[in-house]
Amino acid sequence: MKIHLLLAGLAIGASALYEDQVGKFDWRQQYVGCPTQVQIDRRGKLDRYIVSTAENVVASLSMNTGDIVWRKVQEDVGNKEPKHPLVFSGQKNVICSVSESGKMVRLWAKRDGGFVGQQLLGTVESSHAPFVTTTADTCLVLSHNRAIALSLKDASKLWEVELRKSDWVAARAFDGGFAIVGGLKENNEVHVKWVDTKGMQTLNKILDVNAFNPQKVAFTGSHLVGFWDSTVYALNILSDGPDMKIEAKGVAETVFETFALTSENFVAIRTKSRVHVLDVIKGFSKVFSLPSEAEAVSEYVNKEGKRFLASVHGNRLSLYQVDGDKELLKDVVFDSELKRAPAKQLIIGGGDKEWEFLVIGADCRTDHVVADITVKKAALEWTREEGLTRIGSVELLDLPLSESQAAIETEFAVDEKNILASFAHRIFSQLDQFKKLIARSADTALELALNMKQMKSGSFSDLLNSVRQSARKSHSGGQPLERDVFNLRKLIVATSLGGSIYALDNQDGTVVWRRYIGADIQGFETIEGKTKIPILVQRTTAFYNFDAQIVVAYKRNGIGHLLFLNPVNGKEVDHQTVDNARRIDLLPFVDGDHLHHVITVDRTNQVSIYPKLSADAIEKAPPVHLFDVNSVNGKVTGYRLDLTTNRLTETWAHQLPHWEDSTVVAIAGKPASERTHSQGRVLADRSVLYKYVNPNLIAVGLLAKSAPQLNIHLFDSVTGQIVHSARLPKVTAPVYMVHCENWVAYAYWTEKGRRTEIGILELFEGDEQQHVETFDSEEPLKRPLHVEQASFIFSQGISSMAVTETEQGASNRAILVSLPFGNIFEVNRRILDPLRPMELTPEMREEGGFIPYMPEIPIATEEMLNYNQTVHHVNGIKTAPSGLESTSLVFVYGLDLFYTRATPSGNFDVLKDDFDHILICIVLAALFIGSYVCRKLARNKALQQQWA
């Protein structure tokens, strides 16, 4: 039995990669996330940025290339931003980072990111934003209203001091210990505490402020600087005794923001028009005012103690010397792109002639700019698209037809009225195609000849290699965006919750275009609790005489927006606003322009359609139904859409059972494009069990809280009939669900077994097919459904689940599961099958293809789609069909992006990857030539023999 299983496993796992195929079909891009804190590390030869990000990552980036030197991924924060971002502080060798809103402190070696130690501070999130500061040997963390000092050697706790309740804290080290300052909004108080290096309190003071607001304070050097309305106040926390008092001063304009500068005793305030630098010690006297508007301002003190101030506005950068009031750079353009996101943060790397800057945009784009102050020019050295770490939705789109494919389309596009004219047209277009073919092959031949000329040694293997290389070169990179033969090349369009839309080339992941919509946008919250910026494909590129069109839906200030775009170049086509949209979807039919119309349904069930439907289209439209799950009262309602009046008429309604203490964890329908090739399952006795493929079937997963259990309801959204219900007791989150063809797969954590399990539920009509030609939901089922169910132990955790998709749906399906340690695992449906027999009978053995039931899903490393290219914090997996039936394209997104091809049934329709066309061609040609030459030689020889 064991051997059988092993053999079956081997047969399925035969799709693993070879070593030389690594990186051939797949790519991975590693990101760090949206930077929140950046430090410059200039020790030794390699200059680096140390960044901490909203995605709970501490990383070191090379200043020269922007590559990740080291990256430490900490706890997954999911799709949402954590309550408080990760903060860190570093001395010469060690970084001390506080992650998970103050729960955990970790120490890292600065140069190589080596782990030094860690300390758990609490199991709940800190109420205030944590603060961390370091001295040569101590790391002081302020979190959970406590001050904790840790040794930088091994993260052991040195001492701990209770603080007064506060919602803002900061600290500064001085010779005798630490000065800790905190503030509480509700009491309008600021308290200062001095602690010596042994943890003994030396000073404790509470001061009153007129209006304390944790959002309106900054900490610079030894000063706490805050403001209300048009008043600025400051407190020197290092002044002893009676000197410690809050000084306030009114300024002419309303203050919007204060921010800390690097040099002590100076602070910058932003008023409506300008940014001013004030000297706190000299009674808030204005030291410097920026002459123009600025999105982000930063200060830098060079080795000689000179202070510089830089500002960014749009794509322009300015640099001023504060002391001499000199203007070093004035509105120097560093990026040709005009529609940039406003800068959120600016970091100055300094320099003598060539200054380095890091500009972090509101869409998390991170640009490294080098500016020459003598020639007054700036250039973008590298860019990291960190916005791609927060993807709200992804679509894989076909590329437009290539020139030759479009030529073939036009060749047949002529109306058939005049035979002679169409004949002439075909002849001419074919001549044109032939001409192009000749030109192309001449180009390749020329390239080949050039390559050969360059080659020094003339061995056969070198020749083969050069031919192969030139063949490969013409296949990748630098090509125009057009469809390839097998439609494997696609455009990945992704929306970022950071406020941008990206289009990536699926061959190498390069950004084809990027469009910034606004950092102030929000996604739509789904009932399951996910945030999405949906992308809907209105028209694919299949029609050469129409441009493709997509629509991106997002919210700004609570109002929904629909942005209509051409996905190939990112140009805006149209823009609409919608109010209170509960649902944004595409109508399942097209009008005369092959365009799927967008339908939105608002809270009052008002329907809007963009663009308006023509009367002709309304007449021809098939019946369209909708369903709605009310998250407040647990009512499920079905509606029928009336296109003439744009109204919804309720057709059915029922209450979800056990709604009161349940949450909806999954609502899964089936996309209209999904195809099921095989209508049944063949059993061991060669009879057929017909599948119940109901395109209107919806699966709803409900997780009950008090008595932990998972309820799965399958209902027909047209009639409201509950087709099947399943109850799994003692099941808790996380639950993932995939609904496809006639089955539903669901992963869950079972309390009873204390493990992750994957269950599968498959619906059959029985041995007679009821829905042969048409599937009408209104038609009642003649016989009760045959439901097969099984569950399997999955020995790993699961962080995301998806199913492969192929063009005709004839290949086996596979379920793609992302594992928390960074791998993507492919579970074939043959393994995850409720019809796996308990025991193999002789007939089954004879028929073959049956794998006996085994409670575990074997996890083989060959079936890891991403071999050693681990991806972290996976948010979702997107699959798309390619032109090859065997191949499904897989795009995994999260902190890292990973793209590959999956072949769940093996590569049955393509030659092996190492099939050597060139060698075979050469051998064939050599044989032909050889036989010709030999015939001639043989004839000559025969003639000579006769003469002899």
Partner 1 sequence: MSLSQWRIDSSHASRAARTADSAAYSPPGFSNVGQTVQHHVEAEQSSDQQEHLMKKRAWDVAMGPGKSLPMNMFMMYMAGRSISIFPIMMVAMMLWRPLKALFSVNSTFKPLEHESTGSLLPHKLVFLLGNCGVVALAIYKIHTMGLLPNYDSDWLEFVPEARRIQYTLVGDLFV
> 40, 68, 448, 527: which one contacts partner 1 (CB under 8 A)?
527
Q: Other C-beta atoms within 10 Å of 897: how many?
A: 23
Rounded Cα distance between 673 and 805, Å, is 10
As measured in angstroms, the least distance from the Cβ of 258 to partner 1 is: 37
Should residue 786 be labelled a site residue for partner 1 when binding is judged by CB under 8 A? no
Should residue 20 be labelled a site residue for partner 1 when binding is judged by CB under 8 A? no
Stretch that binds partner 1, among 246-254, 289-297, 304-312, 531-539 (CB under 8 A): 531-539
Token digits of residue 220: 């610079």
Stretch that binds partner 1, among 316-324, 467-475, 520-528, 895-903 (CB under 8 A): 520-528
Should residue 566 be labelled a site residue for partner 1 when binding is judged by CB under 8 A? no
Are 388 and 370 in contact by the 8 Å Cβ rule? The answer is no
Are 528 and 666 in contact by the 8 Å Cβ rule? The answer is yes
- What Rg value do the Cα atoms of the chain yield, rounded? 33
Rounded Cα distance between 732 and 735, Å, is 7
As measured in angstroms, the least distance from the Cβ of 582 to partner 1 is: 5
Cα→Cα distances 254→228, 251, 287, 863, 864, Å:
8, 7, 18, 62, 58
Give 26 or 716: the residue with its C-beta nearer to partner 1. Answer: 716
Give 515 or 625: the residue with its C-beta nearer to partner 1. Answer: 625
Stretch that binds partner 1, among 171-179, 448-456, 624-632, 930-938 (CB under 8 A): 624-632
Residues 576-595 that bind partner 1 (CB under 8 A): 581-586, 588-589
As measured in angstroms, the least distance from the Cβ of 535 to partner 1 is: 11
Should residue 623 be labelled a site residue for partner 1 when binding is judged by CB under 8 A? yes
DSSP structural state of residue 781: P
Interstrand relation of 157-162 and 800-803 (parallel, antiparallel or unpaired): unpaired
Residue 473, φ and ψ in degrees, nearest 5: -60, -40
Cα→Cα distances 182→84, 218, 245, 350, Å:
17, 12, 14, 32
As measured in angstroms, the least distance from the Cβ of 699 to partner 1 is: 10
Number of residues that bind partner 1 (CB under 8 A): 59
Rounded Cα distance between 110 and 131, Å, is 19
Stretch that binds partner 1, among 41-49, 501-509, 518-526, 866-874 (CB under 8 A): 518-526
Residues 698-717 that bind partner 1 (CB under 8 A): 698, 717
> 357, 516, 524, 736: which one contacts partner 1 (CB under 8 A)?
524
Angle between helix 460-473 and helix 419-454 axes, rounded to 10 deg: 130
Should residue 893 be labelled a site residue for partner 1 when binding is judged by CB under 8 A? no
Cα→Cα distances 847→580, 835, 840, Å:
57, 15, 11
Residues 789-828 that bind partner 1 (CB under 8 A): none
Give 412 or 775: the residue with its C-beta nearer to partner 1. Answer: 775
Residues 824-863 that bind partner 1 (CB under 8 A): 846-847
Should residue 628 be labelled a site residue for partner 1 when binding is judged by CB under 8 A? yes
Should residue 778 be labelled a site residue for partner 1 when binding is judged by CB under 8 A? yes
> 438, 672, 926, 942: which one contacts partner 1 (CB under 8 A)?
672
Should residue 534 be labelled a site residue for partner 1 when binding is judged by CB under 8 A? yes
> 332, 626, 712, 728: which one contacts partner 1 (CB under 8 A)?
626
Rounded Cα distance between 252 and 276, Å, is 12
Should residue 116 be labelled a site residue for partner 1 when binding is judged by CB under 8 A? no
Laid out side by side, the sheet with 131-134 consists of 131-134, 138-143, 146-151, 157-162
Query: What three-state secondary structure class fits 430?
Result: helix
Stretch that binds partner 1, among 122-130, 486-494, 529-537, 856-864 (CB under 8 A): 529-537
Give 314 or 720: the residue with its C-beta nearer to partner 1. Answer: 720
Rounded Cα distance between 614 and 618, Å, is 6
Stretch that binds partner 1, among 306-314, 514-522, 539-547, 618-626 (CB under 8 A): 618-626
Its sign, for the CA torsion 349, 354, 358, 361, is positive
Degrees to nearest 5, angle at CA 607 with 601 and 611: 105
Should residue 500 be labelled a site residue for partner 1 when binding is judged by CB under 8 A? no
Should residue 624 be labelled a site residue for partner 1 when binding is judged by CB under 8 A? yes
Residues 915-934 that bind partner 1 (CB under 8 A): none
Degrees to nearest 5, angle at CA 53 with 47 and 56: 120
Stretch that binds partner 1, among 269-277, 565-573, 774-782, 822-830 (CB under 8 A): 774-782
> 176, 283, 477, 671: which one contacts partner 1 (CB under 8 A)?
671
Degrees to nearest 5, angle at CA 913 with 907 and 916: 135
Should residue 669 be labelled a site residue for partner 1 when binding is judged by CB under 8 A? yes
DSSP one-letter string for 85-108: --EEEE-SSEEEEEEGGGTEEEEE
Token digits of residue 471: 């063949």
Residue closest to 591 by CA, chosen among 608, 614, 571? 614
Give 116 or 683: the residue with its C-beta nearer to partner 1. Answer: 683
Give 524 or 749: the residue with its C-beta nearer to partner 1. Answer: 524
> 40, 161, 519, 688: which one contacts partner 1 (CB under 8 A)?
688
Give 443 or 525: the residue with its C-beta nearer to partner 1. Answer: 525
> 289, 404, 487, 631: which one contacts partner 1 (CB under 8 A)?
631
Are 643 and 624 in contact by the 8 Å Cβ rule? The answer is yes
* Residues at the site binding partner 1, with contacts judged by CB under 8 A: 524-527, 530, 532, 534, 536, 581-586, 588-589, 599, 622-629, 631, 667, 669-672, 675-680, 682-683, 686-688, 693, 695-696, 698, 717-718, 769, 771-778, 846-847
